[in-house]
Amino acid sequence: MRFTSSRTLKAGIAAAALAAGLAGTSLADSANLDQFSAEELLPLALKEGSVTVFSLSSRIAKVEAAFEKAYPGIDMIGVDLSSVKQIARVTAEQDAGVYAVDVLYMADTPVAFKELYQAGRVHNYVPPRIAAELDAKFQAPLLQHRLSTKVLMYNEAAYPNGAPISNLWQLTTPDWEGRVLMVDPMQRGELLDLLTEIALHPDEMAAAYEKQFGKKIEVDSDLNGAGEQYIRDLFANDLILVSNSDALNKAVGDKTLKEAPVAFGTYSDRRDNEEEGWALQIANDVEPANGILFPAVLAIADKAPHPAAARLAIDFMFGDDSANGGAAFAPFNVPGDYATRKSIADDPDSVPLDRLKAWTIDPEKTAAARGRIADLIITLQ
């Protein structure tokens, strides 16, 4: 097993992958592989010998270990790379004629759909084994592996009686000045999607404002609705932007903190509470919502150098037929991650999906609106 960050992925892999891609399976042949079972893919994948996966999650290291145990003749090369960086890298490499990656595991779907899928840089693949267990909305235009979150998180050790926030507008008050964190939305597309989604719910944000302050909101003349006003007010209240999730989780979740800040973070990061000494918990009962629910998708890169192994890897990542998905899905069967495959039960410590107070993003609407919100954020930073 070899797990590598984007910084340490060797140039030789790209060169070998390019050669394999130019001499390997055509797109038509690859399309035929879509109908193959895992058993039929295996001998072809063994001949290919490896599969390279770009992953939005460092948990790909655990997937590697399980995959290579199940298929010892195939080396999975996992590259921990944010969705934004995946999109940029694949675009740049393919423009240069380099086809080095097989599978992309990413979020930031508004951009991925437009810049990768619609541009023909990635292709959708639904393993036949699990197709009947997925709702149609999870199968296209890109295969959704699980649903993840960017939601309001707090420190349950510092606030043992529950979340200190019940309305998003509280975060714009003096009590929370300089005490709200977020990973820089210009570096992580999921956070830009979160702010865009807030802007796309002006009526709900206006109602929440009136509930919090007892009066109707007045929106600045250059803004479109209460959601955009919230974004401006949040930044004006000294919103703290950090570089990555680890820094955010430590700043919010440290058990030794007495007056901990809150943050828009990832619900599933609670999985590291015990190991890291954190006390992260979701603030679920928040008006009008606590954040967003969004898909993590899997796709096969155009001219993937290892097309059979790529499909085998995607099939594997959906888990076995046990209730929790077994070792293949175990890294993602944690509180705050929600499987799209119907036979896999969510972690019992998760807030049930039907009770999660998060907005589900519409990638098409988000894609259309996020440019304006990005421009707004630039003026606020």
pLDDT of residue 22 exceeding 90: no
**Residue 72: which of 50, 53, 105 has the closest Cα?**
50
- The count of other CB atoms within 10 Å of the CB of residue 38 is 16
pLDDT of residue 23 exceeding 70: no
pLDDT of residue 19 exceeding 60: no
Residues 327 and 272 in one domain: no
In this predicted model, which residue has the larger pLDDT, 303 or 24?
A: 303
Residues 141 and 154 in one domain: no
**Cα distance between residue 315 and residue 335, in whole Å:** 23
Q: C-alpha distances in angstroms, 127 versus 131, 187, 264, 313?
A: 6, 32, 34, 10
The total number of structural domains in the chain stands at 2
What is the model's pLDDT at position 364? Answer: 83
Average pLDDT (262-291) is: 96
Query: Could you read off the pLDDT of 360-377 as tens digits, one per residue?
Result: 998 889 989 999 999 999
**Cα distance between residue 29 and residue 27, in whole Å:** 5
pTM for the predicted model, two decimal places? 0.84
Cα angle for residues 206, 207, 209 (degrees, 5° grid): 65
pLDDT of residue 6 exceeding 70: no
What is the model's pLDDT at position 9? Answer: 36
Residues 72 and 206 in one domain: no
Query: Could you read off the pLDDT of 94-122 as tens digits, one per residue?
Result: 999 999 999 999 999 999 999 999 999 99
What whole-number percentage of the chain has pLDDT above 90?
A: 88
Average pLDDT (161-186) is: 97
Residues 92 and 183 in one domain: no
What is the model's pLDDT at position 55? Answer: 97
Residues 310 and 169 in one domain: no
Residues 32 and 99 in one domain: yes
Choice among 14-28, 31-45, 82-96, 294-308 with the minimum mean pLDDT? 14-28
CB 138 within 8 A of CB 144: yes
Residues 176 and 244 in one domain: yes
Instruction: Give the tokens for residue 71.
Output: 């298929």
**Residue 4: which of 104, 77, 76 has the closest Cα?**
77
CB 331 within 8 A of CB 271: no
> Would you mind telling me the total number of residues written for the chain in this entry?
381
What is the model's pLDDT at position 163? Answer: 98
Quickly state the pLDDT bin for 31 (edges 50, 70, 90): low
Query: Could you read off the pLDDT of 127-152 as tens digits, one per residue?
Result: 999 999 999 999 999 999 999 999 99
Query: Could you read off the pLDDT of 183-198 as tens digits, one per residue?
Result: 999 988 899 999 999 9
What whole-number percentage of the chain has pLDDT above 70?
A: 92
Residues 94 and 171 in one domain: no
Which are the contacts of 136, defined by CB distance < 8 A and separation ≥ 6?
Answer: none
pLDDT of residue 13 exceeding 50: no
Average pLDDT (164-189) is: 96
The conformation of residue 347, written as its DSSP 8-state character, comes to P
What is the model's pLDDT at position 30? Answer: 63
Residues 162 and 280 in one domain: yes
- The count of other CB atoms within 10 Å of the CB of residue 268 is 24
pLDDT of residue 318 exceeding 80: yes
**Cα distance between residue 324 and residue 330, in whole Å:** 7
**Cα distance between residue 186 and residue 135, in whole Å:** 32
Choice among 12-16, 233-237, 372-376 with the minimum mean pLDDT? 12-16
Read off the CATH number of the domain in which 52 is found: 3.40.190.10
The chain-wide mean pLDDT, for the chain, equals 92
Residues 53 and 184 in one domain: no
Residues 368 and 346 in one domain: no
Name the residue range of residue 269's domain.
149-293+357-380
Residues 200 and 252 in one domain: yes
**Residue 329: which of 75, 146, 90, 181 has the closest Cα?**
146
- The count of other CB atoms within 10 Å of the CB of residue 121 is 21
**Cα distance between residue 280 and residue 287, in whole Å:** 20
pLDDT of residue 347 exceeding 70: yes
**Residue 200: which of 380, 353, 367, 354 has the closest Cα?**
367
pLDDT of residue 4 exceeding 80: no
